[in-house]
Amino acid sequence: MSVPAAPVADAVATAPVTARRRSGRWVSRLGIGGWVALAVVTVVLLVAALGPLVLSTDPDEVNLSYGYVGPIPGHPLGFDGEGRDLLARLIHGARTALIGPAIVVAVSTVLGTAIALAAAWVGGVFDTVVARVTDAMFAFPGLLLALLAVSLFSPGVTVAAVALSISYTPYTARIVRSAALKERSLPYVAALGVQGFTGGRIVLRHILPNILITVVAVATLSFGYALIDLAALSFTGLGVQPPQSDWGVMVAEGVNGIIAGYPQESLFAGGLIVITVGAVNFLGDRIEATSEVPG
């Protein structure tokens, strides 16, 4: 059985094409709305990552004589009540507003997916216990657990993010588990077992990649919720601590301005939260929708 060399080279050349075509099909199912959402999310992430490096204005510089002054040259959005530059605070605030949810999503997705895969693979009593425990934890709103945690320990974004991670884990675990159970019941998984592969290999190399899109969708949706929850905590003064700039903190600090007739600070910060969460959730929905189409 001699193998001619040409077809092998040919095959190597066509392999990336096949991969590109497949991902192309997947991406095209996002739709125009999905692409817009993806663009918005990308812009927000880029601003959060690069904005503070580019911007020379200090977000924490207080200049009381500029309190509630509108846009002037060099300061396109004007100032807050203490005369701090609003644009600089929004851009720096993007970082703090996004890092918290990123931690929550990373921890809850990894933990939740691991628990879900283990439960779906092992099955039996272990699976039942996992299902019941996640159900029970569903009864606890994430925000409540976070409130409890920060009042037990100390106010701050780290404690809040850890508490939210714990309360988001069962949510992730529940959805991923049902996807994993469905995948596990497919004949090819049984066939892999008969080929003598270990459970770990079947789960990590076959089941996980095939349900990855569900995991990504859940992670994206969680990110939006976590952003809202953490902003709400910061608004109540239990999350990010002033004077650090953060969108939630800014909404809270801007409340005084609303009364004084200067609603910009709350409006801009709140608007950014709404736009970011809206875009992230829409994107998550679109990704989830693409996962329902076999392909």
CB of 7 to another protein, least distance (A): 4
Cα atoms in the 13 Å half-sphere on the side-chain side of 75: 20
> Is the Cβ–Cβ distance between 164 and 146 less than 8 Å?
yes
Please report where in the chains the tokens 């910061």 appear, as a residue: 234
What's the min distance (Å) between Cβ of 9 and another protein?
A: 9
The CB-of-284 to another protein minimum distance in angstroms stands at 22
Please list the residues that pair with 72 across neighbouring strands: 75
Residues 18, 42, 244: CA angle, nearest 5 degrees: 150
Minimum gap (Å) between residue 166 Cβ and another protein: 31
Q: What's the min distance (Å) between Cβ of 71 and another protein?
A: 53
Q: Terminus-to-terminus CA distance in the chain, angstroms?
A: 35
Closest CA relative to residue 249, chosen from 258, 236, 264, 262: 236
Query: Is the separation of the CB atoms in 197 and 139 below 8 Å?
Result: no
Cβ 214 to another protein shortest distance, Å = 13
- Run of H or E residues at 219: helix 208-235
Which residues of this protein are in contact with another protein, per CB under 8 A? 1, 3, 7-8, 10-11, 14-15, 18, 22, 123-124, 186-188, 190-198, 201, 205-206, 209-210
Please tell me whether residue 172 adopts helix, strand or coil conformation: helix
Nearer Cβ to another protein, position 14 or 63? Answer: 14
Cβ(24)–Cβ(16) under 8 Å?
no
114 vs 189, beta carbon nearer another protein: 189
CB of 206 to another protein, least distance (A): 5
Q: Which residues, at least 6 apart from 158, have a Cβ–Cβ distance to it below 8 Å?
A: none
191 vs 260, which CB is nearer to another protein? 191
With CA atoms as reference, report the closest residue to 168 among 212, 117, 230: 230
Which residue, 164 or 208, has its beta carbon nearer to another protein?
208
Shortest Cβ distance from residue 127 to another protein (Å)?
11
**Distance in angstroms (rounded) separating the CA atoms of residues 248 and 227:** 9
Q: Is 80 left (phi over 0), alpha (psi -120 to 50) or beta?
A: beta
Give the nearer residue to another protein in terms of CB position, either 33 or 123.
123
Q: Please state, as a whole number, how many other Cβ atoms lie within 10 Å of the Cβ of residue 67.
A: 16
